[in-house]
Amino acid sequence: MMVISRIYFLYRTFPKEIKIPKEIIYEGFKVGWIFDNSIIGSFTVITSLLFIIFYILNKKNYRVAKNIYIIPTSILFLIICSLSFGNVEYFREFGFNVNSSILNYFGDTNEIVATFFSGNDYNPITNLSIILILTIGFIKLTKKNLEKINLRFDFFGNLKTMVSILVIITLGVFSSRGGFSEAVLDWGRGYYSEYSYMNQFAINPIFSLGRSYYNLKKEQRKGRALERTFSIDELKYNIREIVKDQQAQYISDKNPLLRVTDTQKNQKNYNVVIVLMESFMSKYIGAQGAEIDLTPNFNKLAKEGVLFNNFYATGTRSNRGIASVTVSYPSPKVISVTKEFTAGQKSFYSLPKILKERGYETSFIYGGDAEFDNMAGFLKLNGVDNIIDEKNFSKDDKTIKWGVPDNKLFEKSIDYLNNLKKPFFATIFTLSNHAPYDIDSNYKLFKNNEFGELTNRLNAFHFADIALGQFIEKVKKQGWAKNTIFVFVADHGFKTDSNFDLNWENFKIPLLLWSPGNIFNPEIKDITSSQVDILPTVMGVLGGAYKNSSWGKNLFTVSQESSYAYIVQNNFYGVIKDNLLLIDGDGVKPKLVDMKKGEYLEEGDLLNKLHQVTRTYLELETYQLKNGTFAD
């Protein structure tokens, strides 16, 4: 049925004005089968469980048992069939697969029926006829098979049958999650080509609807639906005042941040390499005053570049950090941008996308599974051409649970970058500093469990610095390095004890800009900043004019007065300004904290001002993701 619906989808929706190579179309069927198999797996699990009930009741009353099996399975098949074929007309109307947005129209059944079954150039009886024929055929075939089973088998006396059903259920479970890998299937797996149409074609519409509905309910349970403090016009005014891009010409009312920024500098096509370091938080970095200094190599490097000493991650998970660094979007309160379904419908004005328009080759290099957290799909959609992950490494290199240790990752990265056309953009994402911290014992700094449960983490942190030092020494020998901007930043910090609802230490990370070509004059800057500021800062160094919708600022031109860092963790969110932190959250009263003294401050004008900034970030990012207004 699903193969038939895909062929019908191509027949009804194929864009004749776009020349899509045949091999891309064939690949679309292969990728699509992964999503189809996920739905088939779920269907198999449900029908197998009903099958067990059928066998239990079959000995007493065959007719009742048969109906208990046939009626729900037939209804389920009808729903799947209707969505598969109805999605064709939905796609023709909206340009993407059906998702949870149709729930907005449940009050208007005619609208849904019209969209699904009444295209403007065909008779709706066509769709209905196909659905009915397939459903009737399914019912007849099911009845026939049940009659055969009734004659031949006794469930409780047939161990082979029981084992077979258990095996089928097990396979169905793995099929439904997309296979045997740790990464659960997400929409990003469907982004296999540069053709948006074929990527949408690959994603099964039932999967699309189910996944987006799951995300929607998850958002609702965790408070994504919030009462607005500001109107859209007020949010527009507030966010532009917060960003204060004096070099920008705003070009959209729909997206109040969409603008063309003219750096008023000549364009320079430096290579750009972002080294995104797993859990590399300031608390253990000597260059940032750490009591336990684990980073001699980073400390040395910091003296050669620009170190931003009051810099913060936007969230506490890798998927939040990747999104903020890559597309300059703040961390949502509930679902990461990388997994947000509306973010799969259109792309952001990301750093790789902007540079791609300038002729850069763009890559993402990771030692683990890039499908995890939907990273690969999100990055492909947002301008990354090449994804290098654990599949591109030898088995001998995969010596830790998550894949490849940092030293092997950096070796591969240098070899890979040596062969890229120039200019290039690349993100290298490390993972050794991640649980279970299974590094080679030869690299362990602490061998006697001096810090209890923290010992393994600190050893992994130190190893990450060792690998970084080796990487830098090799980089300096490469011809392209002198014409390259290196950005060293963490994806997030990790949990430390605190009495506050938001512990700023968990968010504080380094940002270091460095180049062996003396592009930067070494200095330490204490301006309050976060991961969303990386995009405009890098573009400020590269010069020229560029279109963007960044939530950040150029850290070389912004004043301390207008600098903030917005942070989110679960149901708490806040804004850091200098040494102050405004903490807000669901159902709590906003509080102002002096981070140096570690104590709450009295209410006043400053609390009210920072609360307004916090609510602006929260309400606008929620509105933009919900309505898809983060792009044009």
**Sequential DSSP letters for 386-422:** EEE-GGGS-GGG--BTTB--HHHHHHHHHHHHHTS-S
In a domain, 632, yes or no: no
Q: Higher pLDDT residue, 435 or 304?
A: 304
Label residue 190 by pLDDT band (50, 70, 90): confident
Concerning whether 318 is annotated as a catalytic residue, the answer is yes
CATH of the domain at 262: 3.40.720.10
Q: What is the pLDDT of residue 187?
A: 79
Q: Is the pLDDT of residue 226 over 70?
A: no
- Domain final residue, candidates 221, 246, 278: 221
Stretch (H or E) spanning 278 = none
Q: Is the pLDDT of residue 215 over 90?
A: no
Do residues 216 and 237 both lie within one domain?
A: no
In a domain, 543, yes or no: yes
Do residues 176 and 258 both lie within one domain?
A: no
Q: What is the pLDDT of residues 404-434, one digit of tens each?
A: 999 999 999 999 999 999 999 999 999 999 9
State how far the Cα of 614 lies from the Cα of 583, in Å rounded to an integer: 9
Name the binding residues. 278, 434, 491-492
Do residues 191 and 259 both lie within one domain?
A: no
Q: Residue 581 CA to chain centroid, in angstroms?
A: 27
Give me the domain span that covers residue 62: 2-221
- DSSP per-residue codes, 57-119: HHTT-HHHHHHHHHHHHHHHHHHHHHHHHHHHHHHHHHSS---GGGGGGTT-HHHHHHHHH--
State how far the Cα of 555 lies from the Cα of 243, in Å rounded to an integer: 11
- Domain final residue, candidates 197, 221, 245: 221
Label residue 196 by pLDDT band (50, 70, 90): confident
Numbers of helices and strands, H then E, in the chain = 17, 17
Q: Higher pLDDT residue, 192 or 616?
A: 616
Label residue 573 by pLDDT band (50, 70, 90): very high
Q: What is the pLDDT of residues 316-340, one digit of tens each?
A: 999 999 999 999 999 998 778 887 7
Contact residues for 214 (Cβ-Cβ < 8 A; gap 6+): none
Name the binding residues for substrate. 434
Q: What is the pLDDT of residue 584?
A: 94
Mean pLDDT score across all residues of the chain: 89
Do residues 199 and 254 both lie within one domain?
A: no
The whole model's pTM is what?
Answer: 0.80
In a domain, 226, yes or no: no
**Across the beta sheet with 599-601, what order do the strands follow?**
565-569, 572-577, 580-585, 591-594, 599-601
Do residues 262 and 163 both lie within one domain?
A: no
Average pLDDT over residues 272-282: 98
State how far the Cα of 613 lies from the Cα of 242, in Å rounded to an integer: 7
Do residues 329 and 459 both lie within one domain?
A: yes
Q: What is the pLDDT of residues 230-260, one digit of tens each?
A: 999 999 999 999 999 989 999 998 999 999 9
Q: Is the pLDDT of residue 487 over 70?
A: yes
Q: What is the pLDDT of residues 25-66, one digit of tens each?
A: 999 999 999 999 999 999 999 998 988 888 778 777 888 888
Q: What is the pLDDT of residue 577?
A: 97
Do residues 103 and 11 both lie within one domain?
A: yes
Q: Is the pLDDT of residue 89 over 90?
A: no
In a domain, 227, yes or no: no
In a domain, 176, yes or no: yes
Q: What share of the chain is helix, strand, coil (3-state, %, to 5)?
A: 50, 15, 35
In a domain, 115, yes or no: yes
Do residues 269 and 322 both lie within one domain?
A: yes
Label residue 341 by pLDDT band (50, 70, 90): low
In a domain, 480, yes or no: yes
**Token pair belonging to 383:** 């301008």
Do residues 201 and 240 both lie within one domain?
A: no
In a domain, 556, yes or no: yes
Name the binding residues for Mn(2+). 278, 491-492
Task: Decide: helix, strand or coil at residue 168.
Answer: helix
Q: What is the pLDDT of residue 184?
A: 82
- Domain final residue, candidates 167, 193, 221: 221
| Total structural domains within the chain | 2
Q: What is the pLDDT of residues 526-553, one digit of tens each?
A: 999 999 999 999 999 999 999 999 999 9
Label residue 279 by pLDDT band (50, 70, 90): very high
Percent of the chain with pLDDT over 70: 92
Average pLDDT over residues 420-449: 93
Q: Higher pLDDT residue, 312 or 217?
A: 312
State how far the Cα of 458 lies from the Cα of 465, in Å rounded to an integer: 11
Q: What is the pLDDT of residue 420?
A: 94
Q: Is the pLDDT of residue 471 over 90?
A: yes
Q: Is the pLDDT of residue 120 over 80?
A: no
State how far the Cα of 555 lies from the Cα of 238, in Å rounded to an integer: 20
Do residues 104 and 253 both lie within one domain?
A: no
Q: What is the pLDDT of residue 290?
A: 95
Average pLDDT over residues 471-498: 95
Q: What is the rounded (10 degree) CA torsion for 533, 534, 538, 541?
A: 40
Average pLDDT over residues 391-411: 95
Which residue among 5, 318, 328, 363 is the active-site one?
318
Do residues 431 and 565 both lie within one domain?
A: yes
Do residues 194 and 321 both lie within one domain?
A: no
Q: Are 88 and 13 in contact (CB under 8 A)?
A: yes
